[in-house]
């Protein structure tokens, strides 16, 4: 009897987490598509300031709502899959593939980071966020080394200046932004507001509609 009840409870938690992953992964995809389009239209060249902080926000949201670090990676897979639909309309494969790989590697680094925090029972701090920033960037650099010369020639590894900018300047700026977010999160987000927002992402129908909307926006914006 107790085993049956536990099995039903686990099934409900599994479906709840799937809904959360799809909802926030899809919303992340929508933000990436719409904000990317807007920044491209106004010729904004400092997008690097916000892309990883945005990714961190959505993955952190998934983690706090599911309580499971690996769910952040699943959410990244949803976002990356949505972004891959650009393959049908983008003539340059690197403009699609590189952001997709970035999303996955950011998630891998963040999952490991949160697992370490869980094991040591510590909270996120600025130094940790700095290490996180450098970690996923190192993984991305390694990925680029296996790419064809045509992709390498337009990547951050094309010279010392873009490489140092990517590794040092962008890491520093992203670390400061994420640290500010973590401080504000602790001060402004209460348990009551978290509970009131939780229902939307746990409803499968809303999550499915969010996913459909994300794919539509990605294809037609």
- Closest by CA to 67, choosing from 198, 196, 177, is 198
- Max distance between CA atoms of the chain, in angstroms, equals 65
- Closest by CA to 73, choosing from 95, 98, 32, 106, is 106
Is the separation of the CB atoms in 113 and 133 below 8 Å?
no
- Tens digit of each residue's pLDDT, the chain (221 residues): 444 444 445 667 888 999 999 999 999 999 999 998 888 888 888 888 999 999 999 999 999 999 999 999 999 999 999 999 888 777 788 888 999 999 999 999 999 999 999 988 888 888 999 999 999 999 999 999 999 998 899 899 999 999 999 999 999 999 999 999 999 988 876 554 544 555 678 888 999 999 999 999 988 87
- Provide the strand spans (E) within the chain: none
The span from the CA of 134 to the CA of 128, in Å, is 10
Question: How much is the pTM?
Answer: 0.90
């Amino acid at each position: 009897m107790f085993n049956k009840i536990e099995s039903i409870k686990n099934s409900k938690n599994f479906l709840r987490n799937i809904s959360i992953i799809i909802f926030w992964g899809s919303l992340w995809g929508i933000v990436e598509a719409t904000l990317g389009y807007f920044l491209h239209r106004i010729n904004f060249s400092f997008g690097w300031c916000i892309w990883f902080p945005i990714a961190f926000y959505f993955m952190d949201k998934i983690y706090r709502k599911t309580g499971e670090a690996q769910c952040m990676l699943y959410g990244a897979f949803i976002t990356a899959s949505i972004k891959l639909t650009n393959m049908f309309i983008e003539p340059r494969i690197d403009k699609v593939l590189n952001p997709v790989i970035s999303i996955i590697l950011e998630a891998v680094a963040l999952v490991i980071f949160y697992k370490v925090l869980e094991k040591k029972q510590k909270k996120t701090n600025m130094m940790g966020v700095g290490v996180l920033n450098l970690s996923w960037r190192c993984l991305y650099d390694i990925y680029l080394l296996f790419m064809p010369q045509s992709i390498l020639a337009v990547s951050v590894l094309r010279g010392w200046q873009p490489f140092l900018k990517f590794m040092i300047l962008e890491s520093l700026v992203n670390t400061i932004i994420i640290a500010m977010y973590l401080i504000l999160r602790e001060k402004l987000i209460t348990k009551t507001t978290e509970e009131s927002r939780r229902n939307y992402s746990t409803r499968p129908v809303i999550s499915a509609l969010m996913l459909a909307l994300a794919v539509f926006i990605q294809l037609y914006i």
